[in-house]
Amino acid sequence: MKSTTTFLCLILCAMVSSAGTDLILPAIPQITTTFNTVPEVSQRVLAAYVAGSACGLLLFSRLSDRFSRKVLLMSALFTFSLASMACAYAPDISVLILTRFLQGMAAAAAPVFIPGFILELFDDRRSVRAIGLLGSIQALVPAAAPLLGVILLSFFHWEVSFKLLAVLTILAAGMVMLSGLPEQPRKSSSASSFIQLVLNPTYMRYALSQALTVSGLVTFVFGAPAVITFSMHGTMNDFIIMQMINVGGYVIAANLSPGLAERYGAESIIFLGTLLAMLSGCALTGYSLFEGTDPIAVAVLFAPMGIALGLRGPIGFYRGIVASGDNNTRGAALTVLFTFTITS
């Protein structure tokens, strides 16, 4: 029961970190008007968050050598909350971009520390299931957060989205403070630990394959609205349908994945997921080469990609973290950093 409560706390932390971009996305046009700037400058509000997250991944993985992960996570959440309030009251676009960078840096603590906490809270079998459940919930955030952002903008100004993030992170920080999260055993700092991970072929196989699969899906999703609306003359409803199918497939596959791995072997399921992702990518490439213009066909061809990530994602990520050994904070950080880099 205690482990379950603690895991729910970790889910909230992960959701808030994931919502840092998706909840704010609908507010970008209003921010552009408020600060009387151009869209290109307003886009830096999103880019600054991503850049801050990349720096935060490296920072927190290093700080974990010297300080308690629980204290670091709690401190990062408090910092995220303060940065969110600073964003809401930013006097100009330059200050907003700076505070978004700090917000993104603080948001990086969750993906760095949560995998290690899960490994310590549960046994191997339950860890894979927990990572799958966490991934399922995180997959819903990019779909639900923009919708919530649109609803908030219908009644309030853009600042409310940042204030909501501030309140949620304060709540998450309080839960972390009261939780039974395990402390990290003291470990000597090593400047070469990232190099050791890069030289670990087992870790790199899992980390890079995970990053490539996630990046392929994310890159397609980022470009899909423009392709569907401009090139295919579809509507945003077509994009929403595609996302609903994709997220639904991911959630179902991610929750079936641990059981399938127990029955058929983890490596077989990872291979199956990777194969499905490749076939989906090839099918989409072929459809574009033949100048296909049906958004529904795109949704059907893209559906195996979500299923593929659901099948291989929880197991592959878990095995990568295990392969990193005691260096799991850097292992998690490097996997996410690979994903950021490839997507960019």
Cβ contact 103:20 at 8 Å: yes
Q: How many CB atoms lie within 10 A of CB 322?
A: 17
pLDDT of residue 139: 66
pLDDT of residue 286: 94
pLDDT of residue 180: 66
- Please enumerate in sequence order all residues whose Cβ is within 8 A of that of 201, keeping only pairs 6 or more positions apart, or say none: none
Return the CATH fold of 1-136+145-181. Growth Hormone; Chain: A; (1.20.1250)
User: Of the candidates 135, 145, 123, which has an alpha carbon nearest to the alpha carbon of residue 253?
Assistant: 135
3-state secondary structure of 282: helix
Chain-wide mean pLDDT for the chain? 82
Cβ contact 130:122 at 8 Å: yes
CA dihedral of 245, 247, 253, 257, whole degrees rounded to 10: 170
pLDDT average, residue stretch 182-205: 70
φ and ψ of 68, to 5 deg: -65, 135
Confidence band of 191 (pLDDT split at 50, 70, 90): very low
pLDDT of residue 344: 67
Let me know the angle formed at the C-alpha of 280 by 257 and 290, rounded to the nearest 5 degrees: 170
pLDDT of residue 2: 60
pLDDT of residue 156: 83
pLDDT > 90 fraction of the chain, expressed in percent and rounded: 15
Per-residue pLDDT at 35 exceeds 70: yes
| Residue 79 or 129, more confident | 79
Per-residue pLDDT at 28 exceeds 80: no
pLDDT average, residue stretch 245-267: 87
Per-residue pLDDT at 190 exceeds 50: no
pLDDT average, residue stretch 33-62: 80
| Residue 220 or 9, more confident | 220
Which residue bears the tokens 């993985």?
A: 61
pLDDT of residue 275: 95
Per-residue pLDDT at 188 exceeds 50: no
pLDDT average, residue stretch 224-251: 82
pLDDT of residue 67: 78
CA 229 to chain centre: 26
pLDDT of residue 301: 94
pLDDT > 70 fraction of the chain, expressed in percent and rounded: 91
| Residue 154 or 293, more confident | 293
CA distance 303 to 312: 15
Let me know the angle formed at the C-alpha of 166 by 161 and 167, rounded to the nearest 5 degrees: 100
User: Of the candidates 299, 284, 245, 15, which has an alpha carbon nearest to the alpha carbon of residue 142?
Assistant: 15
pLDDT of residue 283: 95
3-state secondary structure of 65: coil
